[in-house]
Amino acid sequence: MQKLKLLLVLFISACHTALSFIDGPLPNGGFEKGPKPVQLKGSVVTGKDAIPDWTTSGFVEYIKSGQQQGDMLLVVPEGKYAVRLGNEASIKQKVKLAKGLFYSITFSAARTCAQEEKLNVSVVPTNEKKDWGIIPIQTMYGSNGWESFACGFRADYPEGEIVIHNPGVEEDPACGPLIDSVALKVLNPPRRTRDNLLKNGNFEEGPYMSPRESWGVLIPPHAEDSHGPLPGWIVESLKAVKYVDSDHFAVPEGKRAIELVAGKESAIAQVVITYIGKVYDLTFSVGDANNACEGSMVVEAFAGQDTVQVPYQSKGKGGSVTGKLRFKAVTERTRIRFLSTFYTMKNDNSGSLCGPVIDDVKLLSVRYPNKHP
């Protein structure tokens, strides 16, 4: 019996170790613990293990909020510190994973003086090198220069390294992006139900969102359903879509929704099994996020070859209308797709892109009453 208790304690301890930070910031994910003074040359980190819980390579700077760079004042969104990645520089951290589970990574990034900045994010088995994907960060959707980004992966191994790498080559290595607030979250694959043939139609399942950051999370283009941070959905556009929450935005239903922030270049889709000849109703909410995004908006919804346009006149203060598309399936798989017809910018003089919010997306087969009981 004592042996059984000991094994149980060891099992619980092992599970706690593996799952201890899967739904929140990584250890020192905000970089508030920094190098010792002897491990810094100005703001440049001189030792690869100088930042607690992280390993660095290349030209990495440890930045304090309010630090001056020429005419630029560097601002940190959460806490007092962040890191900056110069040419070919990277930061990485080992994490325990549960094999077979799906995860999302969220982190915040800001451009400094380079224009075409990109980040390479990978999650790889320890001591291996494998690129996961390139995230462009040059398009600005927020008002303060910072954005949060999310990417997803499936754990095929019990331990890996989260690597954030700047592949850029600038004349000035100090022109690289700032990184802050790195977090990890387990994603629960959603299922279709009798009440909704779409997976995750209310967008409640998605990446971690910091309660202290109020600008939402960008899900980059070409994020696939199989490993993307928005389970059930594909971002099949040239630009990102924004994941927003009811703590900081107006959301038509529940806690989470999607903002289509880049016109027709910002689209999401899901492929659903349908029966040829059967009639279906696609319903959804269209609104605004109460984020100073005003003007005439139109969301286009597609179901195979059928489409509907739902107009919404936004005052930038929240609110929503309901859209509906009835269609007859002509194939065994029907692509459901949403996009915003127009580009829209916030009225705060920031030049930031914004757009309509969609939420509460449902697909149901139409059951006609039997005329001959």
Per domain, the residue ranges of the chain are 22-187, 217-365
pLDDT of residue 11: 34
pLDDT tier, 186 (very low <50, low <70, confident <90, very high otherwise)? very high
Q: Mapping DSSP to helix (H, G, I), strand (E, B) and coil, where does residue 15 land? A: helix
pLDDT tier, 226 (very low <50, low <70, confident <90, very high otherwise)? low
Q: Do domains 22-187 and 217-365 have the same CATH topology?
A: yes
Percent of the chain whose predicted confidence (pLDDT) is above 90? 61
Angle at 217 between CA 213 and CA 223, to 5 degrees: 160
What is the token pair recorded at 101?
Answer: 């589970």
> 88: buried, middle or exposed (CB in 10 Å: 19+, 13-18, 0-12)?
middle
pLDDT of residue 92: 96
Q: Which has the higher per-residue pLDDT, 143 or 89?
A: 89
The whole-number average pLDDT for the span 28-48 is 95
**CA 152, CA 170: separation in Å to the nearest integer?**
28
Measured in degrees and rounded to the nearest 5, phi and psi for residue 120 equal -105, 120
The fourth-level CATH superfamily of domain 217-365 is Galactose-binding domain-like (2.60.120.260)
The whole-number average pLDDT for the span 134-139 is 71
Among 337, 327, 277, 330, which Cα is nearest to 306's?
327
The whole-number average pLDDT for the span 232-236 is 92
The whole-number average pLDDT for the span 298-318 is 96
Give the mean pLDDT of the chain.
Answer: 86
**CA 369, CA 373: separation in Å to the nearest integer?**
9
Written as one string, the DSSP assignment of 124-181 is EETT-----EEEE--S--SSSSEEEEEEEEE--SSEEEEEEE-----SSGGGSPEEEE
**Residues 56, 90 contacting (CB under 8 angstroms):** yes
CATH level 3 topology of 22-187: Jelly Rolls (2.60.120)
The pTM (predicted TM-score) of the whole model is: 0.88
Q: Which has the higher per-residue pLDDT, 338 or 172?
A: 338
User: Is residue 372 predicted with pLDDT exceeding 60?
Assistant: no
